[in-house]
Chain A
């Protein structure tokens, strides 16, 4: 098995500046997703009854094409407090995305369906920010359940409570040990079995 992984990316001051231009220096929860329908379904399943889990000053930022799809959905106008908190960052460049992740207090993973690799879960775990996820979002990353800063919530009510708890918590500071334990989500780790296999195949036969 050679799972998908993420790159160890760095943030720069220009990215942070661009991010603050979008987020307005507010404390925010971030959802990075494309407009792939399951991402929208999951979002409304978790937040569709109302966004009571964010204080009036906090924001729910969506980066990627999911933002436009969520706003265009007929449910958007009827969800209590969604419009007040919602910030559609749109499809941003890499520098800005890293800035937004850096500025975010928590990353949310409201994934309730879909298959394949949860790349955004890997990105969220590697970001070092608080993570609030559904069990579905943690598929393939079960070893991280229970780690510091990771909340896995079974239903929508628990998910919203998870978001509120994480947003109320101090910024996450991962110690070196936990940080190291998350290295398996990087490409350098996920591709290791493949590289080993290739090395075995290309090694001179004796």
Chain B
């Protein structure tokens, strides 16, 4: 356990997770993992969660089913169920749990709340408290307020820089993002006391940007992403079972230009044209199609040479992903540029070999499938020969 005598409260901004309604993706998972593990390490009294509401950060309590029938009944008596009261119900639950007690009269039909007015327990981060914010902050209003929160309210803000891809390689992203993300990184620099970077590469990129633009260089700490083996009890669905029936190579990633699915397709096309279809394992893409890959998806769908060889799976559960990792021959990750390739760590944690691109691939602009062909041939056909 971390020493609890240190006084400042640590708040984790979970605005991204609290507002996320789809299956969790990379950064959402990271934010949730941080909240979970840091609270375990520090204790819930020392480390609390907050979200941005009404122009301020306030404590966030997860909406969970209440634990006791008494709490349920007390809540029902105070607020009706409905979207308008979604925010207040967790607060009342917390108040009941913290201050509620058995009334001296009225038996089990009365709950008494004794709220000590001298309590210093705050519902929001205060001066000297740490605020850790590592979500999808470029989409959030509060990022531009970090500097004010730090200078006027005394918050000590710690943020995270995942990568500078939208600034360095905007052509791999959706629309014109370079300016917007540059402004976001400037907000981080001005508002943060420290900036966490998920790799040395990201740290170098971030520091270089600060230097170029004249922004203050904050303390930057490299915190590599932890990798958890995806767990899940769900049995694999039919589609996943069918995909994993025969030997296959796995590529876990959103399908977008930067991830370079194209080079794998081209390599498969070339190998198929050379008459090596029977030696090739299937290629399974796990991830949803993103921007700029419409033509590629159409090619994969219509190419008679590779038909049936390349399979795309979407909305894969943790249990199914775990099944796919276990069954895969090995994993591939030919991305053109990454701050931190999370699936590489995931695959290694699952004990799988990974063929990954070198870190300077994007700057060299290498997208030729030839080297991939050679690599696949050596591994796949060598395996057959053995």
Contacts and interface: CB of A to CB of B under 8 A. Distances in A.
Interface of A: 49-53, 55-57, 78-81, 84, 157, 159-161, 163-164
A98 B191 CA distance: 33
Main SS of the interface on chain B? helix
18 contacts: A50-B186, A50-B213, A51-B213, A51-B214, A52-B212, A52-B213, A52-B214, A52-B215, A53-B213, A53-B215, A78-B179, A80-B178, A80-B179, A80-B182, A80-B186, A81-B182, A157-B214, A163-B214
Task: State the main secondary structure of chain A at its contact with B.
Answer: loop
B214 A53 contact: yes
B183 interface: yes
A52 B190 CA distance: 9
Given A50-B186, A81-B186, A164-B216, 5 more contacts: A52-B215, A53-B214, A56-B190, A81-B183, A159-B214
B147 interface: yes
Contacts of A52: 186, 189, 210, 212-215
B186 A160 contact: no
Interface in B162-189: 178-179, 182-183, 186-187, 189
A56 B215 contact: no
B58 interface: no
Contacts of A84: 183
A161 B216 CA distance: 9
Q: Which 3 A-B pairs have the closest CB atoms?
A: A160-B214, A52-B213, A53-B214
Interface of B: 144, 147-148, 151, 178-179, 182-183, 186-187, 189-191, 210-216
Contacts of B147: 55-57
B148 A160 contact: no
B182 A57 contact: no
B148 A49 contact: no
A83 to B, nearest CB: 9
Nearest to B214: A160
Contacts of A163: 214
Contact of A50 (B144, B182, B187): B182
A80 B214 contact: no
Contacts of B214: 51-53, 157, 159-161, 163-164
B216 A80 contact: no
Contacts of A157: 211-212, 214
A164 B148 CA distance: 17
B216 A56 contact: no
Contacts of B211: 157
B166 to A, nearest CB: 12
Most buried by A among B189, B210, B213: B213
A78 B214 CA distance: 17
B148 A56 contact: yes
Contacts of B179: 78-80
Contacts of B189: 52
B137 to A, nearest CB: 15
A84 B211 CA distance: 20
Given A53-B213, A157-B214, A80 B183 contact: yes
Nearest to B167: A80
A190 B210 CA distance: 42
A49, A80, A164 pick with most chain B CB within 10 angstroms: A80
Nearest to B211: A157
A56 B144 contact: yes
A160 B215 CA distance: 8
Between B148, B151, B183, B191, the greatest number of chain A beta carbons within 10 A of the residue's beta carbon is seen for: B183
A188 to B, nearest CB: 37
Contacts of A53: 213-215
A159 B151 CA distance: 25
Given A50-B182, A56-B148, A57-B148, A80 B190 contact: no
Nearest to A55: B190
B190 to A, nearest CB: 5
Contacts of B183: 80-81, 84
Contacts of B212: 49-50, 52, 157
A104 B248 CA distance: 66
B266 to A, nearest CB: 34
Contacts of A79: 179
User: Which residue, of B148, B190, B210, has the highest number of chain A Cβ atoms within 10 A?
Assistant: B190
Contacts of B210: 52
A14 B179 CA distance: 39
